[in-house]
Amino acid sequence: MAGLLLAAATGGAALALSTSVTNGLVARYVHVDHRGRLIATKQIGVQVAQMAAGLALPLAAASVGWRQGMLAGALGVLVLLVPSVLALRTATGPLADATRPARSSVGATATARPRHLTPMMFGYGMLTGVCFQAVLFGLPPTGLEELGLDLPVASLAVMALGVAGFAARFGWGFVADRFTNLLTLMVALGLALAASSGAVLLSMGAHSLWAYWAGAVLCGAGFALVPVVLSSAVLRYFPPERVGLVSGVVTASTFLGFAGGPVLFGATVDELGYPAAWWGLLVAGLLSSLIPLVFSVRRRPRGAPAP
């Protein structure tokens, strides 16, 4: 048991640090006009790796055992590190204009928002993380206990959520560099998470399987772009020397939400039932959509145009 906990902690730390490291590399080597699509692409890579590992590890375990399967996976990671290290060693120096501040639709520069933007992204990341992980945790038992679905059918909602997230990130990659109003997108993603919980509530009230699946799809598509948008905001508004630190703070907020979401959902279900838990997530989604609006109003000088 101790070994499993250590492995989980080590893997979680590596995953959390990867965002700061890769964002720093993007800020150093990639021109501002091409960062959006690259960020979306690297986030797709995370999901592809999760799907590949989720498929390959059980197959390997069935063939040679779990320990040998995990060892093969670890060796595979080491092999994949080789081209990554070689690419960094052969990369050219930082682009002369890669670190030039990008201007958004509100005329912000890399030094225009850091004091307000960091707490805004922290609160937004934490609330959206709570919503996503609670929905991911709560969909199967809700389908099982409230809708009377079989366990395999209820569990398919998680797969639908993952497919929707992958599709959202893939599609976003084609328009990321042309979309500059990140605050508007953050509001929309928060509303999508709220609508996801609303759809699940509708499925319980009307015993609608379509609403249940819609809730899964909305959550997957809504949250999938949250890390992409937050990373884009960090790279757009902060100078390269602060990208790693701010990325770490934002990632920490998301992981706090991940840790708290299932616990809060489960405790609410035990005390008040499933409807109350989903109403709580709906409110959390609405609050997350309000955070960018509140901070944009606080930051805007008198007489400045609205974002």
3-class SS string, 180-214 = CCHHHHHHHHHHHHHHHHHHHHHHHHHCCHHHHHH
Instruction: Please calculate the CA angle 97-100-102 and round it to the nearest 5 degrees.
Output: 125
Q: Residue 242: its pLDDT value, please?
A: 82
**Under a CB-based contact definition with an 8 Å cutoff, are residues 80 and 48 in contact?**
no
pTM, 2 dp: 0.77
Distance CA 129, CA 226 (A): 9
Q: What is the pLDDT of residues 66-93, one digit of tens each?
A: 788 888 888 888 888 888 778 777 765 5
CA-closest candidate to residue 97, choices 32, 160, 177: 32
**Under a CB-based contact definition with an 8 Å cutoff, are residues 120 and 250 in contact?**
no
Name the residue with tokens 């063939």.
63
Using the predicted structure, report yes or no on whether residue 166 has a pLDDT greater than 50.
yes
Top-level class of domain 10-299:
mainly alpha
Instruction: Please calculate the CA angle 272-276-279 and round it to the nearest 5 degrees.
Output: 165
Name the residue with tokens 């890579």.
45
Q: Residue 204: its pLDDT value, please?
A: 94
Per the document, the length of the chain is 307
Using the predicted structure, report yes or no on whether residue 302 has a pLDDT greater than 60.
no
Q: Residue 94: its pLDDT value, please?
A: 56
Q: Residue 284: its pLDDT value, please?
A: 96
Q: Which residues contact 75 (CB under 8 A, 6 or more apart)?
A: none
Using the predicted structure, report yes or no on whether residue 270 has a pLDDT greater than 50.
yes
Q: What is the pLDDT of residues 184-214, one digit of tens each?
A: 899 999 999 999 999 999 999 998 899 999 9
CA-closest candidate to residue 135, choices 226, 44, 248: 226
**Neighbouring C-beta atoms of residue 73, cutoff 10 Å:** 15
The one-letter amino acid code at 69 reads G
Instruction: Give Rg (Cα) of the chain.
Output: 20
For the chain, the domains span 10-299
